[in-house]
Amino acid sequence: MAETITYLESLQRGLKQVLREDPSTFIMGEDIGAYGGAFKLTDGFLEEFGEDRIIDSPIVETGLVGAAIGAGMAGFKPIVEMQFIDFISCTFNQLTNFAATCHFRWGQNVPIVVRGPSGGGVHAGPFHSQMVESFFLNTPGLKIVVPATVSDVHGMLLGAVADPNPVLFLEQKGLYRTLKEEVQGTPEAIAPGRARIHRPGDRISIITWGAMLHRCTAAAETAQREDGISCEVLDLRSLCPLDLEAIRETVAKTGKVLVIHEDNLTGGAGSEIAARIVEDCFEDLDAPVRRIAALDVPIPYAGALEDASLPDEKRILEEIRQLSAW
């Protein structure tokens, strides 16, 4: 039976599914038990699963990830919640120097998922609004996924928990309660590394991920309706590993590419994707690869300033029109 649910409700269902099906899974985080989480994501979880599996922690992200690494090595599948993903910076050493290298160094799996609310859209200021994928993108051994749809956030969580090594699971908090979709049944697990065509087209390829998917789709619909420009929108879903085959296929189809993301422009994941396209698909290109991203500033607290710092539908539409005319 089909029903309409939010992004947050879909994520709740995914977490409950893995907790019910696999007794080796548990969640650790700040205020996730009695309080139900900063966004009420885990509201009611403590009553259903008990304090041994819904573990309230002190405000110590390093301790959370350190404990999760140890538990993962002992045969558990910990899910660590960062109250806001920005605070994952406190755990950088443990994730990059230890967890990411264990399997390479001595064959030890570290099956942990570190997840949390990411990105802007709620006017929460520079400490609570970052996209952090570029901090970790050049660390072999870490997988990075960014679900953008209601069904994907459930299926990709299943895929992340099933992975034998560390996965960073970046949830777009701006979508938690604003994005609703009709779903039917339980989605299948989606392993990291699988992109998806969100909107087919043949004139321009828009490559994106996370909340930008919806702004890109809206701009593509306007470009089709007002200008007859057919844009294909590729939702990468996973940044590490990248689905290079899907990228090559869409570039070969259209010859013109926009890479759009919410993170800052300089050093953002779009730089790596653009470089790969130029290296691997140069003969298919009919125009330079263009990037659209957030301004290189800390994310402002004031709503109007935050909105101005992030890519919006108007800016994306302007770039579509310019690239189409190239």
Domains of the chain: total: 2
Neighbours of 167 (CB within 10 A): 26
pLDDT in tens, 66-107: 999 999 999 999 999 999 999 999 999 999 999 999 999 999
- Report the C-alpha gap between 260 and 293 in whole angstroms: 6
Residue 93 domain boundaries: 2-184
Q: 41: domain CATH number?
A: 3.40.50.970
Q: Same structural domain for residues 180 and 207?
A: no
Q: Same structural domain for residues 177 and 99?
A: yes
Mean pLDDT of 305-326: 97
**Domain presence at residue 29:** yes
Mean pLDDT of 312-324: 97
In this prediction, residue 1 carries a pLDDT of 76
In this prediction, residue 174 carries a pLDDT of 96
Question: Helical H runs in the chain?
Answer: 7-21, 45-49, 61-73, 92-93, 102-106, 133-136, 150-162, 212-227, 244-254, 269-281, 303-309, 313-324
Q: Same structural domain for residues 223 and 298?
A: yes
Q: Same structural domain for residues 234 and 286?
A: yes
Q: Same structural domain for residues 250 and 175?
A: no
- Report the C-alpha gap between 233 and 217 in whole angstroms: 7
DSSP state of 101: G
- Report the C-alpha gap between 211 and 132 in whole angstroms: 14
Residue 10, both tokens: 């879909």
**Domain presence at residue 189:** no
Check whether 197 has a pLDDT greater than 90.
yes
How sure is the predictor about 180, in pLDDT bands with cuts at 50, 70 and 90?
very high
Q: Same structural domain for residues 280 and 173?
A: no
Handedness of CA 248, 254, 255, 260 (dihedral sign): negative
**Domain presence at residue 303:** yes
**Domain presence at residue 190:** no
Q: Same structural domain for residues 153 and 264?
A: no
Mean pLDDT of 272-289: 97
Q: 286: domain CATH number?
A: 3.40.50.920
Cβ–Cβ under 8 Å, residues 192 and 167: yes
Helix axes 269-281, 244-254, angle to 10 degrees: 60
DSSP state of 300: P
pTM of the shown model: 0.97
**Domain presence at residue 39:** yes
Domain boundary among 184, 213, 240: 184
CA atoms within 13 A on the CB side of 227: 19
- Report the C-alpha gap between 294 and 273 in whole angstroms: 16
Q: Same structural domain for residues 212 and 121?
A: no
pLDDT in tens, 120-173: 989 999 999 999 999 999 999 999 999 999 999 999 999 999 999 999 999 999
Cβ–Cβ under 8 Å, residues 262 and 294: yes
CA atoms within 13 A on the CB side of 72: 32
Kindly report the length of the chain. Answer: 326
Check whether 65 has a pLDDT greater than 80.
yes
**Domain presence at residue 113:** yes
Neighbours of 111 (CB within 10 A): 22
How sure is the predictor about 56, in pLDDT bands with cuts at 50, 70 and 90?
very high
Check whether 31 has a pLDDT greater than 80.
yes
Question: Smallest Cα–Cα separation from 259: which of 224, 311, 297?
Answer: 311
Q: 């403590």: which residue's tokens?
A: 46
Q: 């607290």: which residue's tokens?
A: 301
Q: Same structural domain for residues 206 and 176?
A: no
In this prediction, residue 2 carries a pLDDT of 87
**Domain presence at residue 210:** yes
In this prediction, residue 290 carries a pLDDT of 98
* Angle, vertex CA 292, rays to CA 289 and CA 294, nearest 5: 150
**Domain presence at residue 206:** yes
Domain boundary among 154, 184, 214: 184
Q: Same structural domain for residues 83 and 149?
A: yes
Q: Same structural domain for residues 130 and 222?
A: no
Q: What is the DSSP string of 170-213?
A: EEEGGGTTT-EEEEESPPPP--TT--EEEE--SSEEEEE-TTHH
How sure is the predictor about 194, in pLDDT bands with cuts at 50, 70 and 90?
very high
In this prediction, residue 79 carries a pLDDT of 98
Query: What mean pLDDT, rounded, does the chain reach?
Result: 97
Q: Is 123 annotated in the active site?
A: no
Residue tagged active-site, from 103, 123, 128, 154: 128
Domain boundary among 151, 184, 217: 184
Q: Same structural domain for residues 102 and 19?
A: yes
In this prediction, residue 53 carries a pLDDT of 98
